[in-house]
A and B are shown apart, each in its own frame.
Chain A
């Protein structure tokens, strides 16, 4: 079964956000299925749907490494399993 995760990036728009996240994904054999971005209240919000079925690292590890990258750029980055959103917001 395909396992999916959602990456959320929220913060001020800076150069290289996409590059940082996508290269981390590529390094860990994670395929990016979908990307959407929008500006909410002056904040840059980007969401990515990832296929983590063949990932070389756990969600937690990816989350930690992206958190660290995000902090350097002043962004809040989170990675969470898709099941959480599905179970919480869909009946």
Chain B
């Protein structure tokens, strides 16, 4: 018979501490949908997704019923669409519409992969896709977009950084009537990973199999509660507790992923062992940092506490799953985290601190609302800074900023649902225009002499 304590602990995690499977994401390769005729290509894209993911949502619900674990999202990631654009030419927005239609048909809430990888330079289709992002995100509901502008091996494409500053701003402008939600579905990466199941940055890398299942777990509430119970232990014990908790959470992801892959008849890809917060009370990464001993997230010490958390989550999770991948660590999306929202409102958390935190967290500057009059050059410069942190430290970094068109510091945007909402944060407005407009390519960094 099972141990009483173990049974009660598991029930408490699910019932009271918001333990859930954040997403089951089906990765689908669209390489065999390429066609020189864009209309034919779009129809192949729609058909392939509708066929492969036909049972995805139903299977997710069946697993929820069988195990009683909530599976919050069922999603799809596809091959970066710029590759199809390169072959077909034409207006990339047509692909976005085909993706959106297929997402509606199979019933997933997001589909990622309206993407381009331009870290070294733009090939056919890349430039067109980037320029089409604002319209694509304004005219579709469920499509998510990402662009990789840099990597540790390739350096940073400053031309693409310049373009993306404009694109982020224009995306917000075109969806200004809907709280600028377009920009919340657009991520600019450095060192993007090919098997990330989390939106908005999910895409199905070209090195991946034809169709796979990736699982993203969550559980900030579980970690916080375990730390709370431990009281004033020393910091090594804190790391141990996080590790053990991450292990248990990840085991659940491994179970669900294995079963889902079996039921759908596709290979199991990876478990992404990320602590992904939601705006719900008790589901906050910031509150874990505060439980470690900070008065409020953003205080000095936040970076160190986050580094401990991020590393311990990886260590615990790696042991628990045979295939770990994706972004794996602690996310810090401001508008999606109740504790971060409070800290931003009170002024304890500023963008400079968030930037420092991105050097040790799993991704980057995520879901940050900035003033509506922020120039494209300032957004590009933020992207460049963030990409530089990723490039030098050999980690994934990303920027997902939402320019709040027509709003200024002190006002707020509300997206609702998992995307949450939050206050407009202050930015340094000194102009980086001359730097950004230089264009060209930031050389890849040296990989030795690491100081």
Q: Are A88 and B10 in contact (CB under 8 A)?
A: yes
B236 CB, nearest partner CB in chain A, Å: 22
Contacts of A34 in B (CB 8 A): 1
In chain B, positions 1-56 with a C-beta closer than 8 Å to chain A are: 1-4, 6-8, 10-11, 15
* Known contacts A47-B1, A80-B11; is-contact A88 B65 (Cβ 8 Å): no
Are A80 and B67 in contact (CB-based, < 8 A)?
A: yes
Q: Contact mask A48-91 → B, CB, 8 Å, 1/0? A: 01000000001110010000000000000011111111111100
By a CB distance below 8 angstroms, the chain A residues around B292 are none
Contact status of A84 and B67, CB under 8 A, knowing A8-B7, A89-B248? yes
Q: Which residues of chain A are near B254, meaning CB under 8 Å?
A: 87
Partner of B4, one of A45, A78, A81: A45
Tell me, in angstroms, the Cα distance from A6 to B68 when the chains sit together.
12
B227 to chain A, nearest CB (A): 19
Q: Are B252 and A87 in contact (CB under 8 A)?
A: yes
Whether the Cβ atoms of A85 and B4 lie closer than 8 Å is no
Question: Residue of A at shortest CB range from B319?
Answer: A91
Closest-CB distance, B377 to chain A (whole angstroms): 50
Chain A CB within 8 A of B251 CB: yes
A30 interface hit (Cβ, 8 Å): no
B11 touches A58 (CB 8 A): no
Instruction: Contact check, A85 vs B10: say whether CB atoms are below 8 A apart.
Output: yes
Q: Is the CB of B4 within 8 A of A38?
A: yes
Q: Is B255 interfacial (CB 8 A cutoff)? A: yes
Q: Smallest CB–CB gap between A42 and chain B, Å?
A: 15
Which partner residue on chain B sits nearest A45 by CB separation?
Answer: B4
The reply to whether B8 and A81 contact each other, CB–CB distance below 8 Å, is: no
Nearest A-chain residue to B63, judged by Cβ: A81
CB contacts under 8 Å to B, within A19-37, are: 34, 36
Q: A84's contact among B1, B64, B69, by CB below 8 Å, is which? A: B69
Chain A residues lying within 8 Å of B67, measured Cβ to Cβ, are 59, 80-81, 83-84
A59-B66, A60-B65 known; A84+B4 contact, CB < 8 A? no
B301–chain A nearest beta-carbon distance, Å: 32
Nearest chain B CB to A30 CB, angstrom units: 15
Look across to chain B and name the residue whose beta carbon is closest to the beta carbon of A86.
B2
When chains A and B are docked, how far (Å) is the Cα of A58 from the Cα of B69?
A: 14
Closest chain B residue to A83, Cβ basis: B255
Question: What residue of chain B has the Cβ atom nearest to residue A79's Cβ?
Answer: B68
**Across the interface, do A80 and B10 meet the contact criterion of CB distance under 8 Å?**
yes
The answer to whether A84 and B255 have CB atoms under 8 Å apart is yes
- Whether the Cβ atoms of B66 and A10 lie closer than 8 Å is no
Among residues of B, the one whose C-beta sits closest to the C-beta of A4 is: B2
Q: Report chain A residues within 8 Å CB of B1.
A: 34, 36, 47, 49
Nearest CB of B to A55, in Å:
11
* Residues of chain B contacted by A58 (CB below 8 angstroms): 65-66
The reply on A1 being an interface residue by CB < 8 A is no
Residue numbers in B under 8 Å from A78 (CB-CB) = 11, 15, 68
A40 at the interface (CB under 8 A from B): yes
- Select the residue from A40, A58, A59, A60 with max chain B CB neighbours within 10 A: A60
Would A47 and B2 count as touching, CB distance under 8 A?
yes
Instruction: Tell me the nearest residue of chain A to B253, going by C-beta.
Output: A87
Give the residues from 64 to 97 in chain B that come closer than 8 angstroms, CB to CB, to chain A: 64-69
Q: Mark B220-246, 1 if CB is under 8 A from A, else 0.
A: 000000000000000000000000000
B258: nearest chain-A partner, CB-CB = A87
- Across the two chains, which residue of chain A brings its CB closest to B259? A83
List the B side residues contacting A86 at CB < 8 Å: 2
In the complex, what residues of A have CB within 8 A of residue B248's CB? 88-89
Q: Let me know if A89 and B4 touch, CB within 8 A.
A: no
Residues on the A chain within 8 Å of B11, using CB:
8, 78, 80
CB atoms of B65 and A47 under 8 A apart: no
> From residue A75, how far is it (CB to closest CB) to chain B in Å?
13
Known contacts A59-B68, A60-B68: does B2 contact A84 (CB below 8 Å)?
no
Measured in the bound complex, the distance between the Cα atoms of B2 and A6 in whole Å is 9
Q: How far is the CB of B246 from chain A (nearest CB, A)?
A: 12
Q: Cα distance A40–B65 when bound, in Å?
A: 29
**CB <8 Å contact, B7 and A47:** yes
B residues near A10, Cβ cutoff 8 Å: 8
A sample of 14 more A-B contacts (CB under 8 A), given A10-B8, A80-B68, A89-B6, is A38-B4, A45-B8, A47-B1, A49-B2, A79-B68, A80-B11, A81-B67, A84-B10, A84-B69, A85-B6, A85-B10, A86-B2, A87-B251, A88-B6
Residues of chain B at the chain A interface (Cβ within 8 Å): 1-4, 6-8, 10-11, 15, 64-69, 248, 251-252, 254-255
Q: Considering the complex of A and B, which 6 residue pairs feature the smallest CB-CB distances, nearest first?
A: A60-B65, A87-B255, A89-B6, A87-B251, A88-B251, A81-B67
Can you report 22 residue pairs joining A to B where beta carbons are below 8 Å apart?
A36-B1, A38-B4, A40-B4, A47-B1, A47-B4, A47-B7, A49-B1, A58-B65, A59-B65, A63-B68, A79-B68, A80-B10, A80-B11, A81-B67, A81-B68, A83-B67, A83-B255, A84-B69, A85-B2, A85-B6, A89-B2, A89-B6
